[in-house]
Amino acid sequence: MAQFDTIRSAAGARAQQIDEGLRAHMNKVYATMSAGTFITFLAAWAVAGLAVTSDPANAVAELSTGKYLTSLGSAIYLSPLRWVIMFAPLAFIFGIGAAANRMSAAGVQLLFYVFATVMGLSISSIFLVFTGESIVQVFLITSIAFAGLSLVGYTTKKDLSGMGSFLIMGLIGLIVASIVNIFLASSAMAFAISVIGVLIFAGLTAYDTQRIKNDYLQMAHAGDQEWLAKSAIMGALSLYLDFINMFMMLLQLLGNRE
């Protein structure tokens, strides 16, 4: 009996240790994701937001909207560099995934923050297109929606892996449609992409949260701290992409244009 109590006590202590580790792991995921999001919006504001509120006399180029760009903004938007900035985030996503196994956790985290900066340059045009008030409002809406969806993914007992496969296929189709619409410039297609995109990234938020949780629970017993550290960063990247893309889709639907 004493031996049984000892085994049960050890099992309970191990379960508690895993639960505490999971909470710490998820806190790191959300903290890294939040830092990346902050860097993204800071970079976007530095390129376009500050230019919008700057003195026109010190600006370099005037847009048809009546807004002005700094030298950096002109280099991005008034040259072929804009195409590089537009597609650079896709290249970074594939690059981070390929480099994660070869780099240290610190290196992967640095690469994530560089990616967040590039993403900020890529989406900086929102400050030239939409009002500042609507950007803030949509950001708050996205934050509330993201928190609720991530909580659902963390707490639900339902296996979301089947839904995840369907959503990933939908995401591939969405990327293709978005690239095609760059050249078609169809407003109806853009509206449909935004609506479908919101639904896809809402589902991916719950799915990715559950996947991050399950990955930790499966690997926690191995005790590979380097792998767990990289897993937290890659998990943060997944949720970061869900948040940024859901924000951009909602901004297209709800944002007030200048």
Q: Could you report the per-residue pLDDT of 101-121, keeping only the tens digit for each?
A: 788 888 889 999 999 998 998
Beta bridge partners of 68: 62
- Which residue in the block uniquely carries the two structure tokens 């985290």? 109
pLDDT at 61: 52
Percent of the chain topping pLDDT 90: 44
66 vs 125 pLDDT, higher one: 125
Please report which confidence band the pLDDT of residue 69 belongs to, taking 50, 70 and 90 as the band edges: low
64 has pLDDT over 60: no
pLDDT at 203: 95
95 vs 178 pLDDT, higher one: 178
- Mean pLDDT in the chain? 82
Pairwise CA distance, residues 214 & 147, whole Å: 18
pLDDT at 4: 45
pLDDT at 68: 59
pLDDT at 15: 60
Please report which confidence band the pLDDT of residue 214 belongs to, taking 50, 70 and 90 as the band edges: very high
Percent of the chain topping pLDDT 70: 77
Q: What is the pLDDT of residues 148-162, one digit of tens each?
A: 999 999 999 999 988
250 has pLDDT over 70: yes
Q: Where on the phi/psi map is residue 223: left (φ > 0), alpha (ψ -120 to 50), or beta?
A: left
What's the whole-model pTM score?
A: 0.83
10 has pLDDT over 50: no
Orientation angle between helical segments 225-254 and 2-44, nearest 10 degrees: 50
pLDDT at 237: 94
**Segments making up each domain of the chain, as ranges:** 2-254
**For residues 187-200, average pLDDT:** 92
231 has pLDDT over 50: yes
Pairwise CA distance, residues 40 & 108, whole Å: 17
Q: Which residues contact 124 (CB under 8 A, 6 or more apart)?
A: 43, 44, 45, 47, 48, 49, 73, 76
pLDDT at 244: 96
Please report which confidence band the pLDDT of residue 66 belongs to, taking 50, 70 and 90 as the band edges: very low
Max Cα distance, the chain (Å): 85
76 has pLDDT over 60: yes
